[in-house]
Chain A
Amino acid sequence: MHVNEKDINEQIRWAQINADVLRSMENPRPAYWVAVAVCIAMVSCAVLAEIYQYNTGLGVTNLNNPHMWDMYIATFVFWIGMSHSGTLLSAILHIIHADWRKPIYRFAEAMTTFSLMTAGFFPMIHLGRIWNLYWVLPYVSDRGVWPNFRSPLAWDAFAISTYLSASAVFLFIGMIPDLAICRDNAKGWRKTLYTTLSLGWRGDDRQWRNFRKTYMLLACFLIPLAVSVHSIVSADFAMSIMPGWHVTTFPPYFVAGALYSGCAAIITLFVILRYFFRFEEYMTTAIMEKTCKLTFAIAMVWTYLNLIEFASTWYGHNIYDKEVLIYKATGPYAWIFWTMIFCGSVAPFALAIQKWRRHMPTMFVVSLLLNLGMYFERWMIVAPTLSMAYEPHQFYMMYGSIVQWAIVFGSFGWFGLLFLIFVKIFPSVSMYEVKEMVFHRRRHLDHETAVKFGRRARDAGTPATDTH
């Protein structure tokens, strides 16, 4: 079956784009409030669990002597990984001029920021003395005490805070022209909010020129950051001497895994937004197909890196490494290992089948499976090494307690809550970039249309709100 269809209907009128996106920000339906309530309930679970853990001590998480890290760290890596695809779509695809990203990059970029805001909690929650957290930062102390700059955990603090602030700025900057459209159409408190946030955007030539430069600069700044942040997260493991952690390929492996789970999450949110906001015109099947192809490619990279890690361990004949690998595949955690292999390396083949990837409910389920596999992957990195490292007396296995589960569960609620608030306050489809995309396609694909609509917005005779 060969389907030759357009990424977007280029005949769509600019006013229609504005109207569709602005509509998505209005009048939340009951389902929205139910979702908000569910998210708040989930966050409450986590807050209660954290209060209990804070007052009682970390023992309530079932952590023990060999297992000093567990689900908190796995979940931390998971959320950090989730954040990477926003950057992939908004920055990498931006500089390579892949314009199909335009209708879907905004929510992906928001996902980046929110998953970083979620991830940031976990290194804090897992600390024994959370109230001394700031000691990791190099603040000026009269005692001349500094953090240990050799420690990957100190690097983490820098890497994550830099990435979070850079991606939040990038999200905001990229939204300014859209915020101006919102400002022009809003009333009441929204008017005040958008007026402040749009920073006096008028859409004149000088502003657009500066905007383009700033946006490109930030994109170029963000790409190495995205690669470095997950390399540094992988250094949390790779810099140790533990078998199964001390792996040279961990930085690319982590970055590939990050892009992978991020793309899977984009597919999930794509389907949800398309369905609930009726964004069929923008989040088209053709774009879904492209996203799926991208995800499939990344899945294969991840699979390859996984296999070479196994192979180098197997043929390296380091007794400790090999033992951990065999333990992963055959020990008590084997069901997690094989689920990870299935979800991470077999399930993505569903993305290679055109009929399936055009079917949104199937893709929704598959993308959740992929992310389940990626969560298990993170957990398989953290826990089995601790179960079985060097000292045989300390071989032990454990599962996290309900407290850990509650906090991990709550983190999804927190992410969902942020996202739900976002989609009702900020445009989750980039209006100006969709217009750009439509404009370019009209011009390039169809000469007659180009002549008919002209090269400028006002030539097309559309209303004043359309000039942005």
Chain B
Amino acid sequence: MSFKNILENWSAFRKDAEAGGHHKYDHRWGMAINLDVCTGCNACSTACYAENNLAVVGKDRFEKGQAMHWMRIERYWDDADRQFPERGASFLPMMCQQCGAATCEPVCPVAATYHTPDGLNAQVYNRCIGSRYCSNNCPFRVRYFNFYSYYETWAEPLNQQLNPDISVRDKGVMEKCTFCVQRIRASNDKAKMENRAIADGEVQTACAQACPTGAIVFGDTMDPNSAVNKLWAKHEVKRGDYLSKKPKVNAEKRGYRIFEELNVDPSVMYLERVREEI
């Protein structure tokens, strides 16, 4: 940014600096996850393992907290004070929220994680030196570190199943959910060759594809006709709307984004589970 540019576009510059992050987007990929229909079956997590060449770390390392599930189902048990007639667990599928103002990005010493023009929070494996600050600064704790080297010892015959579209990662590298960026790029290229825009539903993440109840809707939130955008609009969840975390007046509007008060502008909207209270 030249000095002249700063003088001429001072107000825009100020606004940009305040809002943080990237501002001229081609797409803004986003998600809507309906917790009301999520059964916690873990199909999304499994699909993610298959699609993204995730290492299976084994019981011991899982217990130590060294697992690599980019998509995890968080399970929260109901309180003992019987708030609800039906007792049990609540499930929260949690993956990288592809924040618009991601806290992981500014802290990386080598800029291995950055924002793409299509609204993704990208991780450059080859650039990562493994300082792990990004993970420490992620409020969702959805960044996974390669504590060991797995690709050399990928169990037979599972190595036959590795996805050729993306790399395997060596030890010492941070990784996380990419919104199946390889699929996004493939569809992008295809649409470009056919000289058209990407249609809604053309890109499916592995988790959305695998979800048996259709709880996960993926798409471009900048496309006014996309299913995900309609859901966001219906539930009145807007990007950059962090300051107005209003109390819910309409029970029909179930949308929320996690830790909205932190102003990280997540790209994933959750729809609250509908439960009958005592």
Contacts and interface: CB of A to CB of B under 8 A. Distances in A.
Interface string B92-123: 10100000000100111111000000000000
> Looking at A58, A62, A147, which has the most chain B CB atoms within 10 Å of its CB?
A58
Which range contains the number of B residues in contact with the other chain?
35 or more
Interface in B213-266: 259, 262
A157 B172 CA distance: 19
Contact of B148 (A57, A133, A150, A392): A57
A145 B107 CA distance: 16
Interface string A112-136: 0000000000010011111011011
B3 interface: no
Given A57-B146, A157-B109, A127 B129 contact: yes
B133 A153 contact: yes
A136 B173 CA distance: 15
A240 B264 CA distance: 13
B145 A398 contact: no
Interface stretch (B10-18, B37-45, B134-142): B134-142
B159 interface: no
**Interface size bucket, A side?**
35 or more
Interface stretch (B25-33, B63-71, B179-187): B63-71
A203 interface: no
Contact of B66 (A65, A147, A157, A391): A65
B128 interface: yes
B149 interface: yes
A128 B139 contact: no
Given A151-B106, A152-B107, A153-B109, A128 B137 contact: no
A128 B135 CA distance: 13
A381 B146 CA distance: 25
Given A57-B148, A127-B130, A393 B74 contact: yes
Contact of A128 (B76, B106, B131): B131
Interface of A: 56-59, 62-69, 123, 126-130, 132-133, 135-136, 145-148, 150-154, 156-157, 236, 239-242, 386, 389-394, 396, 398
Given A136-B110, A390-B139, 7 more contacts: A59-B147, A68-B145, A128-B145, A128-B146, A148-B106, A151-B106, A152-B107
29 contacts: A57-B171, A58-B130, A58-B172, A59-B61, A59-B66, A63-B132, A63-B147, A65-B135, A68-B136, A123-B131, A126-B131, A130-B172, A132-B110, A135-B109, A136-B110, A136-B129, A148-B110, A150-B107, A151-B106, A152-B107, A152-B133, A153-B108, A154-B110, A390-B262, A391-B140, A392-B76, A393-B75, A396-B65, A398-B64
Closest 3 CB pairs of A and B: A128-B130, A128-B172, A64-B65
